[in-house]
């Protein structure tokens, strides 16, 4: 069997080389972002045009280093070293989105932060963080795609996730204790910089490949869930780690929502809107907001879900008048949920965590009912940043929905409008 120390030495040398590429490219981008004259469309596009080719070059360099590293590992393990060259399109085209478009997204992040009342320096900082995350994701994805292709070509069947010690969160620690099939290579998460290495045949027998790190994983689970069963050899980590398909990155990992999280997310938010007995006349308000014009109007006999009430209360707290509509059961008749200040709107409060479908499904359903849409993210498994980016992209790419209001997990409200 190959000397594991030798494989570890190869992994360390490889990590040093690929990290240098990431570090230098991130430093260049951060300096460019900080020195921009302003953050308007033209300046952001100029930055993206200068940066996108450099990121593509970094992806190709990373892929070449990954191929060379894994060929050295294959030689140590007695596997075939006759493998295809780097496929440029495969390692740079995973997103399926023009890099020029991708690298203008930090501008969108900055503008969104400003629209929410953030100070300019805070908004610019948020955009800069987004820029470094985009670069890290693209380089990590090039590493993953090339590693999968090369390991499959060498005949390797199993791999290990190798921690670098720089960006390792609890997710990475947990994942690194297990062996994996090469076909399911390295789901990532924002900021991930893990490496991979093929497993010698003797190490691929057991599911747990690192008992020492397993103890660290127990602690990570305990920090996340409040409990960890050290009596069991292998905790059911599949019950707390969720792999979802990102529309651009491919498989990504995150913690599944725990029951406690679910209860917390589903509980009605404290509101300044107070309950009153509903008058018998249909259309009179059941809840009133003292000290302001906002109110929620619920017709007599209307049965609402908790999340519908919570969404309406959030809007009423901002001074809007929200009137739920009586359902019309006539075949073929549209039934939009509410009127907000006299305009017809549809409410959506998604639960999903799929970056491919969760947001797009809300637009598909809503446009059948109304041209204005409220999306309440407080039950959603996606982060605000990911969800809002998806919402804005879907919104800008269509015309049937003309206005969108978004309620973030913390109750912050943002709006988009076609002009």
Q: pLDDT tens, 187-222? A: 544 555 678 878 776 664 455 445 555 565 566 556
Quick one: 221 and 131 in the same domain?
Answer: yes
Confidence category of residue 256, pLDDT binned at 50, 70, 90 = very low
How far is residue 95's CA from residue 90's CA, in Å, rounded to a whole number?
A: 10
Please give the residue range of the domain that contains residue 250.
Answer: 4-255
Quick one: 144 and 228 in the same domain?
Answer: yes
The pair of structure tokens assigned to 353 is 């965590």
Quick one: 304 and 380 in the same domain?
Answer: yes
Quick one: 270 and 377 in the same domain?
Answer: yes
How far is residue 157's CA from residue 394's CA, in Å, rounded to a whole number?
A: 39
- Among residues 229, 255, 281, the one where a domain terminates is 255
How far is residue 198's CA from residue 156's CA, in Å, rounded to a whole number?
A: 6
Contact 352, 360 (CB under 8 A): no
**What confidence score (pLDDT) does residue 32 get?**
96
Res. 99: pLDDT tops 80: yes
Quick one: 329 and 219 in the same domain?
Answer: no
| β strands within 58-203, DSSP E | 158-162, 179-181, 195-198
Provide the H-helix boundaries in 256-354: 259-266, 306-316
Confidence category of residue 133, pLDDT binned at 50, 70, 90 = confident
Quick one: 388 and 340 in the same domain?
Answer: yes
For residue 202, list its beta bridge partners: none
pLDDT (mean) for 259-276: 36
Total structural domains within the chain: 2
Confidence category of residue 111, pLDDT binned at 50, 70, 90 = confident
For residue 223, list its beta bridge partners: none
Contact 178, 208 (CB under 8 A): yes
Q: What is the largest CA-CA distance in the chain?
A: 82
Contact 147, 185 (CB under 8 A): yes
DSSP 237: G
- Among residues 255, 289, 304, the one where a domain terminates is 255
Which candidate, 215, 222, 224, places its Cα nearest to that of 256? 224
**What confidence score (pLDDT) does residue 329 get?**
72
- Angle among Cα 26, 29, 35 to the nearest 5 degrees reads 140
Res. 26: pLDDT tops 70: yes
Which of 21-25, 141-145, 162-166 has the highest mean predicted lDDT (pLDDT)? Answer: 21-25
**What confidence score (pLDDT) does residue 178 get?**
63
The pair of structure tokens assigned to 305 is 């879900």
Say how many residues make up the chain: 419
In percent, the amount of the chain with pLDDT more than 90 equals 32
Contact 326, 335 (CB under 8 A): no
Q: Which of 14-28, 158-172, 388-402 has the lowest mean pLDDT?
A: 158-172
Q: What is the CATH number of the domain that holds 359?
A: 3.40.1350.120
In percent, the amount of the chain with pLDDT more than 70 equals 69
Of 294 and 343, the structure prediction assigns the larger pLDDT to: 343
Burial 375-401 (b: 16+ CB within 10 A, else e): bbbbbbbbbbbbbbbbbbbbbeeeeeb
Which candidate, 262, 282, 405, places its Cα nearest to that of 341? 405
Quick one: 63 and 200 in the same domain?
Answer: yes
**What confidence score (pLDDT) does residue 206 get?**
54
Of 249 and 91, the structure prediction assigns the larger pLDDT to: 91
- Among residues 237, 255, 273, the one where a domain terminates is 255
Quick one: 164 and 78 in the same domain?
Answer: yes
CA distances from 341 to 275, 323, 412 (A): 20, 8, 19
Residue bearing tokens 């399926």: 96
The pair of structure tokens assigned to 236 is 């059911």
**What confidence score (pLDDT) does residue 290 get?**
33
Which candidate, 63, 69, 68, 67, places its Cα nearest to that of 94? 63
Quick one: 220 and 270 in the same domain?
Answer: no
Quick one: 231 and 90 in the same domain?
Answer: yes
How far is residue 199's CA from residue 187's CA, in Å, rounded to a whole number?
A: 18
Quick one: 184 and 87 in the same domain?
Answer: yes
Quick one: 246 and 302 in the same domain?
Answer: no
Q: Is 117 exposed, middle or buried (0-12, 13-18, 19+ CB in 10 A)?
A: exposed
**What confidence score (pLDDT) does residue 219 get?**
61
- The model's pTM: 0.54
């Amino acid at each position: 069997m190959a000397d594991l120390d030798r494989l570890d030495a190869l992994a360390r040398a490889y990590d040093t080389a690929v990290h240098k590429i990431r570090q230098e490219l991130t430093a260049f981008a951060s300096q460019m972002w900080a020195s921009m004259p302003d953050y308007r469309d033209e300046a952001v596009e100029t930055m993206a045009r200068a940066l996108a080719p450099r990121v593509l070059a970094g992806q190709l360099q990373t892929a070449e280093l990954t191929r060379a590293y894994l060929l050295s590992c294959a030689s140590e393990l007695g596997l075939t070293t006759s493998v295809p060259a780097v496929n440029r399109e495969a390692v740079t085209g995973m997103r399926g989105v023009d890099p020029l478009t991708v690298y203008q997204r930090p501008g969108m992040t900055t503008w969104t932060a400003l629209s929410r009342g953030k100070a300019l320096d805070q908004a610019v900082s948020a955009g800069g963080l987004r820029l470094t995350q985009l670069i890290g994701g693209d380089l990590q994805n090039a590493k993953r795609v090339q590693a999968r292709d090369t390991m499959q070509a060498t005949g390797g069947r199993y791999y290990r996730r190798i921690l670098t010690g720089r960006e390792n969160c609890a997710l990475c620690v947990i994942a690194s204790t297990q062996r994996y099939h090469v076909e399911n290579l390295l789901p990532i998460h924002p900021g991930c910089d893990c490496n991979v290495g093929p497993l010698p045949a003797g190490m691929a027998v057991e599911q747990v490949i690192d008992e020492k790190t397993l103890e660290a994983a127990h602690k990570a689970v305990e920090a996340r869930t409040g409990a960890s069963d050290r009596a069991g050899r292998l905790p059911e980590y599949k019950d707390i780690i969720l792999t979802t398909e990102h529309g651009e990155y491919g498989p990504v990992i995150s913690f599944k929502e725990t029951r406690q999280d679910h209860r917390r997310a589903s509980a009605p938010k404290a509101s300044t809107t107070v309950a009153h007995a509903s008058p018998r006349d249909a259309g009179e308000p059941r809840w009133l907001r003292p000290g302001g014009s906002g109110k929620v109007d619920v017709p007599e006999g209307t049965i609402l879900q908790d999340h519908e009430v919570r969404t309406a209360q959030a809007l009423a707290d901002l001074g809007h008048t929200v009137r739920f509509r009586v359902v019309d059961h006539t075949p073929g008749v549209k039934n939009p949920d509410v009127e907000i200040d006299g305009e017809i709107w549809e409410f959506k409060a998604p639960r999903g965590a799929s970056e491919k479908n969760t947001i797009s499904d809300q637009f598909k359903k809503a446009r059948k009912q109304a041209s204005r849409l409220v999306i309440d993210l407080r039950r959603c498994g996606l982060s605000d940043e990911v969800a809002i980016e998806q919402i804005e992209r879907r919104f800008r790419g269509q015309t049937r929905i003309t206005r969108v209001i978004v309620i973030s997990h913390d109750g912050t409200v943002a709006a988009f409008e076609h002009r």
